[in-house]
Structure 1
Amino acid sequence: MSQSINDLIITEYLTKWYISIPLLLVIYKIFDAIYEIYLRNKLGAKPETNPEGDGFYGFKLPFTMIQKKKEGKITDYAYERYSFVKNPDIPTFSFRIFTTKLYSTKDPENIKALLATQFNDFSLGLRHSQFLPLLGNGIFTLDNEGWKDSRQMLRPQFAREQISHVKMLEPHMQILFKHVRKNNGKTFDLQELFFRLTVDSATEFLFGESVESLRDETIGIQIKDFAGKKDFAKSFNVAQDYLASRALLSRLYWLLNPKKFQNCCKVVHTFAQHYVKKALSLTPEELDQQEGYTFLYELAKQTRDPKVLQDQLLNILVAGRDTTAGLLSFVFFELARNPEVYAKLKEELYLKFGSGKDARVEEITFESLKNCEYLKAVLNESLRLYPSVPQNFRFAVRDTTLPRGGGPDGLSPILVRKNTTVTYSVYSTHRSEEFYGKDANVFRPERWFEPETRKLGWAFVPFNGGPRICLGQQFALTEASYVTTRLIQEFPNLSMNPNVEYPPKKLSHLTMSLYDGLNIEMS
C-alpha cells in the first residue's frame, strides 16, 4: 500500500515538472522576444529581411556544411546561399546552427562596420578556443590586449626592409625548377610544389633555416632529418583541416578532438620547438651578431618565453606559407585556362626581365616588380576570385547593429545581440555583379585598368581591413610576384586539360587552395 502511495507522489511530482519546464521555456521565449523588440527600438534597428531556415532548427546546416567542405564545395555553397533567400538582392541573412542565431553578410558596408568603424563591438569569439590546440596564443587567435601586444611585437618585423628582399627566394626556385623539369613536359601537380616552396621560404625567413621540403630523393638530394621535420608539412595540413571543421561546429567545437588531430598538433609543435630552443640557446649578444635577418631571432630579442615564440611563429607560418601557395596555385590555374592572358603577361615580364638563358634575375627587385602593371592585375584578379581567406567571422561583445540588412528593402540596420556570430563572405563580395559587372565570375585582369575598380573600397578586401589588416600583405604579394616571374621566364609553355572542372573544387580550411591540386604541363 505504501509503495502505491509513493508511486503516486513520484508520478504527481514528475507531471508537474513535465508541465513546468515547457511552460518556463515558453515564458522565456516570450520575454526574450519582447526584449529583442525593445533592443531594436532602442538601437534603431529593423527585423532582418532574410531569415534563412534549414527546417530542423539549425541542426541540419552544420552537417551540410561539413559535407560540402569534404566535397570541395563549401565556398561556392556559401556564395550560392545568398541566392536561396527570400530576397536575393539583399546581401545579408540570418540563419541558425544548433538553434543559435547567426548572420551572414557579403555587404561591403557591413564588412566595413565589422572590421573598422565598429571594430570595438566585435571580437574573434570562439576562435581562440577552437584554434588553441594548434596555434596557441598568437596574433590570429587573440583579442583585446593580447592581440595588441602581439601586433606591437610583430609589426616592426614586417615594416623593415626584409619584406622587399627577394634574393633569398632564388635558391628555392632553382630546386623547384628541378622538380618541374623531371616531369619532361608531362602533367604534374604544381600546387603541391608551391606548398613545399612556400614552407621552405617561410621557415627560412621565420626560423633562419629552411625545412628544405623541396629537397628529396626524386631529384637526387638527400637531407638531414630531425624530430618533426619529416612529417611537418602533412601534419600542418591535417591539423588546419580539423580547425576549420571545429569552427563550423561553432559552440560544439570541443566534440571534434580526435587522437589524429592531437598527434598532428604535437608534430607541428615539436618542429617549431626545435628552432625556438636553438634561438634561446644564443645570448642577447650572440643574437645581435647573427648575420642576415631572421624573424625568430628578432622576436627573441623582445621575449625569452619559448611558448610565446612558438605560438607567434606558427600563427605567422599559417599566413606566410598557405596564403601565398594558394594564391600562386589559382594564378597558374587561370593562366593555363586563359592562353591570351598568359601571352600578355609573358610579353610584359620578358620585356622587363628577359627569359630563359637571357633572364636578368638580378633586375627582379621589390621595386621593379611593383612596376609590372599587368602582373599586378593578374594577382588582383586571382585574389578577387579566390581570396586566401574566403569566409571569416566576428562575435558581438555587446548589443549592437550592422548598417544594413533589415526592413522591407534591406537598407535598415539590423540588431546584433551580444554573443551573436556574424560571418562575412569575402568570396561572395568579390563575385558581386553590383561591383564587378555581369562578368563578375569571369577571370579578366583587364578590369583592373578600368576606372570603376578605383572605387571598390570595401568591396575588395583580400587581406582583410581595419586594425586587423594583414601585416604580411606586401610580403605575400612580393613573393607571389617573384615566383610567377621566375617560373614564366624558365618555362614559356603552359597548358592543362581543357576538360578540367570549372569552377574548380576548393579546399578550404584556414585558407583556400585547389581541392584536386594544380595538374598542368610546363616546359
Structure 2
Amino acid sequence: MLEILIGVTLFFTLWRVLVLADLKRRQKKSGYGYPPIASNGLLGWRGLVHQLSGFVKDIGPAGWGAQFKEHGKTHLYPVFPTQLLVTRDPDNVKAILATQFKDFSFGIRKEALCPSLGYGIFTVEGSSWSHSRALLRPQFSREQISRLDSVEHHFQEFAQCVDNFKGEYFDIQKLFFAQSMDTSTDFLLGESVGCLKELLETRDGDESSKKFGANFQHAFDRVQRLVALRVVFQENYWIIGDVFFRNEFRQVNELIQKFVQGYVDKALKARAHKAPIYTNPDKYIFLYELARDTTNPRVLRDQVLNILIAGRDTTAATLSWLMFELAQKPHIFHKLRKAVIEDFGTTIENISFESLKQCEYLRYVLNEVLRLHPVVPINLRVALKDTTLPRGGGPNGDEPIFVPKGQKINYAVYWTHRDEQYWGEDAEEFKPERWDTTNHPGPLGKGWEFLPFNGGPRICLGQQFALTEMGYILTRLVQEYSDIGIDEEYHDRPLRVRHSITMSHGDGVHVRLSREGTVVS
C-alpha cells in the first residue's frame, strides 16, 4: 500500500512539474505575469482539505475570506490535482462575463447538470444558449411580470401558515421555499403544486395530506444538492450519480422530469385542440406561451426545469436571508414597515410593478440583502484559449495576468460584495442606508462591484421578475405583521450554509411574527 501511495505521489509530482514548465514557457511568450500563488502543500493537498472541510462543515463562501486577505484579490490556489485561479476583482469579473466573454466557457457544467435539468438555458452554451435566450426573453416582458394577482393568492396562504404558529417560533425559510414553489409553478405551468396548502393541512394534524407537492419539492431540492456536488468534483463529476447516490440520483431525476413532462403533454394537447386554456388572453401561462414557439417536448421540459430553479430558489433564499437580518435588527424592520405604509397604506390597491420600484427604502433593503447574501456566491469559468485578465499581477496586483487555456477560474461575487474598497469599513454589516446616495458620494451598485444577477450577455433574464415578486411579498409581509423576533437558540450558533446550486441558511431561519396590537418579545 505504501509503495502504491509513493508511486502515485511521484507520478502526480512529475506530471505537475511538466505542466508548470509548459505554463512557464507560454506565460513568458505572452509577456504577462502571474498572480501570487498560495502555498498549499505538495500538489495542493492543503487546498483540497480546505475545500472538502468547508463543504462538510457547511462553512460556505465565508471560508474564503482568510485566503483573500492573505493572498490578495486575485491569486492562484492549488487544489489537488489542479490549481484554481480565484478572483474577487470586479475588473476581472467584467472581463470574464462581458468584455472577454468568448474567451471563457462553463467547463463541465453541461455534463454535470444535464442528467437532471436537460439542455436548458443554464446548462448550454454557444448557439444552443442563444436560441434558448431568444425563446425565453419574450416570456419575461413587463406585462407578464407585473401580474401580481397570483402572488397575492399564494401570499394569503403563506400568511395563514404564519398565523397557525400563533406567536411561536417557526422556520420562515421553509415557508418561503414552499411559497416560491407555488408561485413559480403557477406562473410556469398554469397551476400551483400546492406546497403551502399541504403545509396548512399538515399543521392541522393530517399527515396523510403530505402528497405530491412536498415530494416534488423534496426531490427538486435533492437534485440540486447532488448536481452541485457534481460541479464540485469537476472532471470527476460522474462519481456522484454513477458511483455514489446512483439509485437516488436516478429516482429524483425521474420524478422531477416526469412531473414537468405531464404538464408539457397537457400544453401540447391544448395547443393541438386550441383548448380554452390555450386561447384565453387573460390567463398567462409560461409553458403555454412557450408552446406557441416550439412543439419539441424535450425543449419545453428542459426550459421549464431551468427556469423553475431561477424562479423558485433565488426568491426564496433571498427573502430568507432578509428575514435573518431583519430579525436581528428589528429597527430596520420597523423602518421598512413605516416606509411601506407611507407609500402603499395597508391594502394592495396601490401596489404595482411601477410603485414597487419607487419605494426607496424597500429598494435599499432588497439591494442590501442581495449584496450581503448573493444566492450564487461563487461561480466558475474555464479559459477556452491562452488569454489574459486585466488585474492581479505586479507588486500592487493592478497589472494584467496570463491565463492559460484550460485554467479554471472561480469568481467570488460574495467577496466582491464585501470589499471595503467599494463598500466601506462596514462592508460586512447589513446596512440598507448605504444605498442612499445622500449619505454616500456617487451611486453604489452601478458597476461590476455589485452582481446579484450576473452580468454581460448572460445576465439573468428573470431579474425584474424576481425583484417584483420579492418586493411584493416583502411589502405585504410588513403590511400584515408589525413586529419580528428571532430564536436565539438557533442564531447564536455558528452560521451554516446549505450547499446547493444556490446559497441558503443551513439551519433555517427561525423567527416569530406578530400582527398589530401584539408584541413579539
TM normalised by structure 2 equals 0.89
C-alpha distance 338-230 of structure 1, shift in aligned 2 (>3 A): closer
Aligned equivalents of 1:79 and 1:206: distance in 2?
38
Matched, 1:130 2:112: yes
Equivalent position of 1:74 in the other structure? 60
Aligned equivalents of 1:516 and 1:315: distance in 2?
26
Say which one has the larger Rg.
1
Counterparts of 1:261-410 in structure 2, within 5 Å, are 261-284=249-272, 285-286=274-275, 288-290=278-280, 291-354=282-345, 359-410=346-397
Aligned equivalents of 1:304 and 1:226: distance in 2?
34
Shift, 1:34, TM fit: 4.9
Aligned equivalents of 1:168 and 1:503: distance in 2?
37
Equivalent position of 2:93 in the other structure? 111
2:129 aligned to 147, 155, 162, which one?
Answer: 147
Shift, 1:263, TM fit: 1.5
Matched, 1:241 2:228: no
2:443 aligned to 454, 460, 470, which one?
Answer: 454
Aligned equivalents of 1:113 and 1:441: distance in 2?
26
What SS does the aligned partner of 2:453 have?
Answer: coil
Deviates more, 1:211-220 or 1:424-433: 211-220
C-alpha distance 277-422 of structure 1, shift in aligned 2 (>3 A): same
Shift, 1:273, TM fit: 1.2
Equivalent position of 1:3 in the other structure? none
Q: Which amino acid aligns with 1:454?
A: P
Counterparts of 1:64-103 in structure 2, within 5 Å, are 64-85=50-71, 90-103=72-85
Matched, 1:194 2:181: no
Aligned equivalents of 2:67 and 2:224: distance in 1?
25
Structure 2 contact 435–444 (Cα < 8 Å) conserved: no
Equivalent position of 2:403 in the other structure? 416
Aligned equivalents of 1:83 and 1:277: distance in 2?
53
Shift, 1:31, TM fit: 6.3
Shift, 1:431, TM fit: 0.6
C-alpha distance 56-131 of structure 1, shift in aligned 2 (>3 A): farther
Q: Give the percent of matched residue pairs that are identical in Structure 1 and Structure 2.
A: 41
Cα deviation code 1:469-491 (max 9, x no counterpart): 00000101111111111111111
Shift, 1:97, TM fit: 3.0
TM normalised by structure 1 equals 0.89
Cα deviation code 1:304-341 (max 9, x no counterpart): 11111111111111010000001101111111111221
1:488 aligned to 452, 463, 478, which one?
Answer: 478
Aligned equivalents of 1:364 and 1:333: distance in 2?
25
Equivalent position of 2:517 in the other structure? none
What SS does the aligned partner of 1:467 have?
Answer: helix
Structure 1 contact 65–74 (Cα < 8 Å) conserved: no
C-alpha distance 194-229 of structure 1, shift in aligned 2 (>3 A): closer
Aligned equivalents of 1:453 and 1:181: distance in 2?
43
Cα deviation code 1:468-521 (max 9, x no counterpart): 000000101111111111111111111113562377322231111111111001
Deviates more, 1:339-348 or 1:382-391: 339-348
Cα deviation code 1:64-102 (max 9, x no counterpart): 4233223221211123321243xxxx3011123332222
Counterparts of 1:453-472 in structure 2, within 5 Å, are 454-456=443-445, 457-472=447-462
Deviates more, 1:444-453 or 1:121-130: 444-453
RMSD of aligned alpha carbons: 2.6
Equivalent position of 1:504 in the other structure? 495
Q: Which amino acid aligns with 2:467?
A: L
Equivalent position of 1:443 in the other structure? 430
Cα deviation code 1:222-245 (max 9, x no counterpart): 999999644110111111111111
Structure 1 contact 178–219 (Cα < 8 Å) conserved: no
Aligned equivalents of 1:102 and 1:190: distance in 2?
37
Matched, 1:52 2:38: yes
Cα deviation code 1:178-197 (max 9, x no counterpart): 11011111100110000000
Structure 2 contact 391–401 (Cα < 8 Å) conserved: yes
Aligned equivalents of 1:176 and 1:29: distance in 2?
55
Structure 1 contact 229–271 (Cα < 8 Å) conserved: no
Aligned equivalents of 1:134 and 1:494: distance in 2?
38
Aligned equivalents of 1:187 and 1:228: distance in 2?
27
Equivalent position of 1:479 in the other structure? 469
Q: Which runs of 5+ in 2 are unaligned?
A: 1-5, 515-521
C-alpha distance 418-295 of structure 1, shift in aligned 2 (>3 A): same
Cα deviation code 1:357-376 (max 9, x no counterpart): xx221211111111110010
Structure 2 contact 87–409 (Cα < 8 Å) conserved: yes
